[in-house]
Structure 1
Amino acid sequence: MRWNGFNSFMKIWARKVFSLLLVYSIIFLVSFACSNHQGTQKATLETFTQQLDARISTIMDRYDIPGTSIALIQDRNLVWSNAYGYADIEQQKKLTIDAVCRTESISKSVTAWGVMKLVERGLINLDDPVKQYLGNWSLPESEYNLDEVTIRRLLSNSAGIPLGSLGEEYSPSSEKPSLRQYLSEEVQLTYEPGSTYEYSNPGFNLLELVIEEVTGRDFNDYMANELLIPLGMHNSSFDWDEEWSSRVPMGYDLQGNSVPPYVYPYKASGGLFSTVEDIARFAIAGMAQGNKRQPKVLNRESIQDIQTPQINTSGIFSFVADDYGFGHFIETLPDGKKAVWHGGQGHGWMTHFHVIPETGDGIVIFSNSQRSWPFIAQVLNDWSRWTGFGPVKFGRIIKVVTGLRIIIGLVLLVTFWRAGQVFYGIITGYRKLKITPGKAPIIRVTELAAGVAILTILIWSVSQDYLFITSVFPVGAIWLGWVLLFLSLTLLCSALLPVLSNDQLSNLNHERNENKRKLA
């Protein structure tokens, strides 16, 4: 029958397209693997920065990144920095190296230094319950032992406090909740302290209150005078400065919409404003051997404590890091060296620094776009190849992006094949609308359920203000969404327009043959 002939044709066509897709995937993966092992690690600094200058604009265009600034560290010295793209697209204002940017969660790394300064002075103890340093503010009642919520566990994101709410943004000049009001709403224990890793903003903001209660000083005043200024970070502050109005770029969200400057009701976990070169100075200070020209803020033992694994990461974080220390992620590189890093993500912003303390190498990357994870991963891959230490774990994001592209291609192939079957069945009359279930075969029920489920998930996803997958895969997530929409509609059409039964097909073909005979 013609229907069987069409099925045979579709199977041949599908095999050919699948073979082409498989060949393309192999070529792509081989070229990707080869690019990961090219000999850029032997290039000079000048050659590598020239390569960056040539590549950055291409990668920015690929992921629609408005602006980025990058700083390189060699032998514990800031050796190069540059800025690319725009601070404000509408105004066509170029991004400059002295732009004051939101560092977001890099703030946690800096806050950890502030806490360790108090430990060195004997004003707090890492293993003391945090409740004894909170003044008249108290931890909420819990089924878990509050004495187990220690300074050490807060610093290592293992105190039992979850991530907390996102989107607590305020205009710099507007009224905002006090730190204590914020903590009263956000701090809760959802699992046993010390039992597992859980990235936590409220946990670090509790440390902000600890610093203020122990020192009797404003958090920003303490951090500026004890840490930022001594490290030469003169363009950094945990407080908004009106003089920065012309220096702070616009941020851009996942859809490319502009995001004006904002502040949080807290500072310790994500409130630091800084330049890419200032964060490079902070990263240099954390090198194990130190730079003799670098002011001494913490002793070597404290820095080693900060960079010592405290707990294994879990969930998505285990994909990009092995452990968490005090405000720092930690990983072991392929050559056995230790890498220490932290990143930051906010509304319209992404930041990252990565250092190899043993060798004194490092990189800092700022971007005023929330679509920057693949971009940052690509730059880190280029840098890690150049340094010769082997790929850093954060660079795995690029491999996942590649895998997602292959999955999208395969789903699209299957969808086209099924859509072709449905379309052919409609125009030939072999498929008819059937709303009632009747004696629906299992494949029809499965297609209907899958189509409704996929469509429901897509509608839910579109209604969300933020989805993690769209940050990691800003381009791929959009393609995946459209492909899944196409698939769901195809499945629903296939279920609602089933193929006629064998008896119905026989009768239809017999009727058509009779009509042809009469016309002849």
Structure 2
Amino acid sequence: MRLTKRITLIILSVLLWSAFIGFGFINGFLLKPITLDNSPQGFIEAAKDKVANEYVGNLAMALIEDGVVVEEYFYDIEGHNIDQNSAFPVASVSKWVTSVGVMKLVENGQIDLDEPIDNYLTRWHLPPGEYDNNKVTVRRLLSHSAGLDDGLGYNGFTKDENMQTLEESLTKAADAGSYAEGKARVGYEPGSQYMYSGAGYALLQLLIEEISKGSFQKFMQEQVFNPLEMTHSSYILSDSTKIGLVPVYRNDGPTRPMNRFTAKAASSLMTSTSDIAKFMIAQLKGNQVLSDSTIKIMTEAESFRHDIGIYGLGPHLYSQDYTDSKIIGHDGSGNDAINSAARIDLLTGDGIIIFETGNYSYASVLADEWMFREAGIADRVVMERNMPFIITLLIIGYLLITMGAIFLIRKKNLL
């Protein structure tokens, strides 16, 4: 009977310890940050250590605190001069910046968020299908909930390839990745779910061109870049020398020419950390482009996954159901190999910008580490890094339980 009680006690202790470690792992309070130094300088040093341990061609990083850039870090593996005004290709961060242009049209009363997109278009229309195209609205396109199932990223076109027109790209993108069919079409009930869509933002590019009666770049330059003094930003490759485009590294080392993009609104922005810092800080309050009320609308949840808001009208919502922060922004990746991350906490004014080439995930991984440091948001990246530590805690606990049980058994025998 005594032996049974002891075995039961040991098993119960093991289960309780396992439950405690599991709960602490899932809820983040047992996870360690990437550095114990909570200063901006400490985070930059951790970033440098990470660069030293994996291949990154070049990068620019800026940390924002209380709406001010407080620390920066620049790097190029071949020693090219990189600074806060160096322009990087930022892939899908393009969409966040594009959304501000779209909302400028809304604020001006030129378009309505809930009007069918087809009502504004003359050059191209959504093909007929199983679902009602009239439910494809500007609001739903901005929030990736319009029913488009293209799954696009765009690879762009080399200098030797013929670049499609925007209408041709919407019909079937020639630069679609091998994983996507590349057609802009409604493949599920609009408004029913979140599904990321590059073609949705190509449609918004067409909308801007139709309403403004000019080029997409011209509109963004006049309505967004100029008012925010973003002097090292452009959606068109011909501006690359003027804005100071960095060498673009592949993930296997060499540099490569930058591709041209038809779907500019979705993929082609080149910008600097200084420009995106201005753009992000402008999201903290009404600015030269948009009012407080419009910014508030953009940063509220519009599309959901498992009842958790994940996307607003342009920005990704990183805090999701965390109530002590409101981190918004966007990441971008792809195109062998570009990775960018731009995120800001609307409650604190703290943010991070990382642009890099040569690595598919460095910027996003480090931005995830920043979110854990900033707001205790622990995602897969932070959990995976902490896995050896958590396993060590489990083993130490099991050893202590075993040693305690042996001690008690010996003590009982001596008595």
TM-score range, shorter chain: 0.7 to 0.9
Distance 1:61 1:38 in 2: 15
- TM-aligned CA distance change 1:153 to 1:335, over 3 Å: closer
Distance 1:286 1:101 in 2: 21
Higher deviation after alignment, 357-366 or 57-66? 57-66
1:135 and 2:122 equivalent? yes
- TM-aligned CA distance change 1:323 to 1:334, over 3 Å: closer
TM-score (structure 1 length as normaliser): 0.62
Q: Answer whether contact 2:166 2:263 (CA < 8 A) is retained.
A: yes
Partner SS state of residue 35, structure 1 = coil
The aligned counterpart of 1:449 is none
Alignment of 1:92-491 (within 5 A): 92-171=79-158, 175-185=162-172, 186-242=183-239, 244=241, 247-287=244-284, 289=285, 295-313=287-305, 322-330=309-317, 331-332=319-320, 334=322, 336-347=324-335, 348-373=337-362, 376-382=364-370, 384-385=372-373, 387=374, 389-391=375-377, 393=378, 395-400=379-384
Distance 1:147 1:253 in 2: 42
Partner SS state of residue 109, structure 2 = coil
Q: How many residues align?
A: 355
Distance 2:315 2:269 in 1: 16
Distance 2:35 2:165 in 1: 52
Distance 2:213 2:274 in 1: 31
Distance 1:168 1:53 in 2: 31
TM-score (structure 2 length as normaliser): 0.77
Letter in 2 for 1:378: L
Q: Answer whether contact 2:90 2:332 (CA < 8 A) is retained.
A: yes
After TM superposition, the runs of 4+ consecutive aligned structure 1 residues lying more than 6 A away are 404-407
Q: Answer whether contact 1:346 1:370 (CA < 8 A) is retained.
A: no
Letter in 2 for 1:398: V
Greater CA radius of gyration, 1 or 2? 1
Unaligned runs of 5+ in 1: 1-25, 408-520
Higher deviation after alignment, 57-66 or 209-218? 57-66
Distance 2:163 2:99 in 1: 25
Distance 2:208 2:59 in 1: 33
- TM-aligned CA distance change 1:190 to 1:281, over 3 Å: same
The aligned counterpart of 2:180 is none
1:75 and 2:91 equivalent? no
- TM-aligned CA distance change 1:58 to 1:80, over 3 Å: closer
Alignment of 1:55-70 (within 5 A): 55-70=46-61
Larger RCO, structures 1/2 (Cα 8 Å, 6+ apart): 2
Partner SS state of residue 235, structure 1 = coil
Q: Answer whether contact 1:65 1:371 (CA < 8 A) is retained.
A: no
Unaligned runs of 5+ in 2: 1-21, 173-182, 392-415
Counting helix residues as a fraction of each chain, which structure ranks higher?
Answer: 1
- TM-aligned CA distance change 1:200 to 1:401, over 3 Å: farther
1:156-193 deviations in whole A, cap 9, x for unaligned? 00111124444532235864111111011121121111
Q: Answer whether contact 1:197 1:312 (CA < 8 A) is retained.
A: yes
Q: 1:214, CA displacement in angstroms? A: 1.0
Q: 1:380, CA displacement in angstroms? A: 4.1
- TM-aligned CA distance change 1:101 to 1:173, over 3 Å: farther
Q: What's the Cα RMSD here?
A: 3.1
1:44-97 deviations in whole A, cap 9, x for unaligned? xxxx32x244332320132312222111222222333231233xx4xx434333
Q: 1:277, CA displacement in angstroms? A: 1.3
Distance 1:99 1:194 in 2: 39
Q: Answer whether contact 1:105 1:345 (CA < 8 A) is retained.
A: yes
Distance 2:114 2:154 in 1: 32
Using the aligned pairs only, state the percent identity: 29
- TM-aligned CA distance change 1:345 to 1:371, over 3 Å: closer
Letter in 2 for 1:75: D
Distance 1:37 1:370 in 2: 19
1:350-393 deviations in whole A, cap 9, x for unaligned? 001111112211111111123324x53235424652x4x323x5
Distance 2:37 2:249 in 1: 32
